[in-house]
Amino acid sequence: MAGIIFLDNASTTKVDDRVFEAMTPYFTQQYGNPASLHDLGQSAEDAVEGSRRHVASLIGAKPEEIYFTSCGTESNNFSLFGLAKSLKGRGRHIISSSIEHISILNPLKDLKKEGWDHTLLPVDEYGSVSPEDLKKAIREDTALISIMHANNEVGTIQNLEDLGKIARDNDITFHSDGVASAGIIPVDVKKLGVDSYSFTSQQMYGPKGAAALYVRKGLRIKPYLIGGTQERGRRAGTENVPAIVGFGQAARIAKQELGKNAAYLEGLRNAMIEGIMAGIDNVKLNGHPQKRLPGNVHVSFEYIEGESILLLLNMEGIAAASGSSCVSQALKNSQVLISMGLSPTTAQGSVLFSLGKFNKRQEIDKTLEVLPPIIEKLRKMSPLYKES
């Protein structure tokens, strides 16, 4: 939409024009089913395999280690349920963290009913998992560790290399949810030492409807969607060819431009954080001050609530997000913020501005201009705020 300042890139991203163009033929011209023997099927299959190479290359994997799925949630469900099934001989304990995405946490709850115990590691005030805590949590029967790479809310990037080494030293399979990181920061699954890694197209300027699970060659995992022999029998269902083509292009472009984009975003981000701190008092920056996603500006405005901030920003044409319970469908405060030790009141006043490569400096300036009066207006209404 013209004129909208989209600072909600953590929820999804605009599709890059080049990506959309690459997808276009696959709807009304190259519409074949990759399973078909004929030329239209073959060209669809070639397109899917081409994408697989791009997607693999983005994270330093081999093409045959990539399985396409429909969304990040499916990749995470596939990994946890699929690995749990193949690992149950190894033990029945999983270690994860308290700031994981709900598509990790809910499967863990379900697995509990099937006899799997789990430990959720705490995080410090910046949202970091400590390798020491991980070491201590490992039990004789720990079969799987699942720790996200970057947090989608506060942007904190975990030290996966250290965590992965601990997993390896203890011969425990290691999954990481990379939905918020892949395509945004450099990812090399071999260096990170992960056995399985989820990521999705719609977070890197690709289309919705395509995501992937990296599964290290040789790792046993049961399929989750079952039926036909697509994806070498590990994910049944007709491939979403156009979306996969888009994902491939998005991955190709991301690999190429990642360094440039990250530097640009860090500049914007730092300017925005400084601008907010300078213009408004009683604001707290959430997440790690350095080890954070380049586009992440997550702040809490004391004394007021996030939904009302978002609504007023929206009136000014600015799109953002919040960890307030009033914004969540589940009517709960962001678990991430609470785990980091924020008080519920402070968590209520949180706003996530997630910047993307299409954002312009002027958009940040405009936001910095309209934000103080919005905060001021709401604080004036708040029973918690005493004007000084």
Partner 1 sequence: MVTYSKKVMDHFMSPKNVGEIEDADGVGEVGNPTCGDMMTFYIKVKDDRLDDVKFKTFGCGAAIAVSSMVSELAMGKSLDEALKISNKDVAHELGGLPKQKMHCSNLGADALHKAIQDYKKKKME
Does residue 206 contact residue 179 with C-beta atoms inside 8 Å?
Answer: no
382 binds partner 1 (CB under 8 A): yes
305 binds partner 1 (CB under 8 A): yes
Q: Residue 152 binds which entry of ligand PLP, partner 1, a second copy, none, with Cβ cut-offs from 5 to 8 Å by kind? A: ligand PLP
Does residue 324 contact residue 349 with C-beta atoms inside 8 Å?
Answer: yes
Give the binding-site size for ligand PLP (rule: CB under 6 A): 15
4 binds partner 1 (CB under 8 A): no
Kindly identify the residues of this chain, within the stretch 315-334, that bind a second copy according to CB under 8 A.
318-322, 327, 329-330
45 binds partner 1 (CB under 8 A): yes
Between 174 and 224, name the residue whose CB sits nearer to a second copy. 224
Q: CA torsion angle for 170, 172, 178, 182 (degrees, to 10)?
A: 70
Please report, as a single letter, which amino acid is at residue 318: I
Pick from 140, 155, 158, 152: which is nearest to 96 by CA? 158
152 binds ligand PLP (CB under 6 A): yes
Angstrom distance (rounded) from CA 73 to CA 39: 33
Catalytic (active site) residue 71: no
CB of 367 to a second copy, least distance (A): 13
CB of 385 to partner 1, least distance (A): 8
Kindly identify the residues of this chain, within the stretch 214-253, that bind a second copy according to CB under 8 A.
225-229, 236-243
Residue of 4, 315, 326, 381 marked catalytic: 326
78 phi-psi bin (left φ>0, alpha ψ -120 to 50, beta other): alpha
CB under 8 A: which stretch of 22-30, 37-45, 118-126, 134-142 binds partner 1?
37-45
CB of 189 to ligand PLP, least distance (A): 16
Encode 175-209: b = buried (16+ Cβ within 10 Å), e = exposed.
bbbbbbbbbbbbbebeebbbbbbbbbbbbbbbbbb
Q: Between helices 306-315 and 361-381, what is the axis angle to 10°?
A: 130
Cα-flanking dihedrals φ and ψ of residue 305, to 5°?
Answer: -115, 145
Q: Residue 384 binds which entry of partner 1, a second copy, ligand PLP, none, with Cβ cut-offs from 5 to 8 Å by kind? A: partner 1
DSSP conformation letters of 248-299: HHHHHHHHHHHHHHHHHHHHHHHHHHHHHHHH-SSEEE-S-SSSB-TTEEEE
Residues in touch with ligand PLP (CB under 6 A): 71-73, 76, 101, 103, 148, 152, 177, 179-180, 200, 211, 237-238
Catalytic annotation, residues: 326
Residues in touch with partner 1 (CB under 8 A): 34-37, 41-42, 45, 303-305, 307-308, 311-312, 315, 324-327, 329, 331, 344-345, 348, 380-384
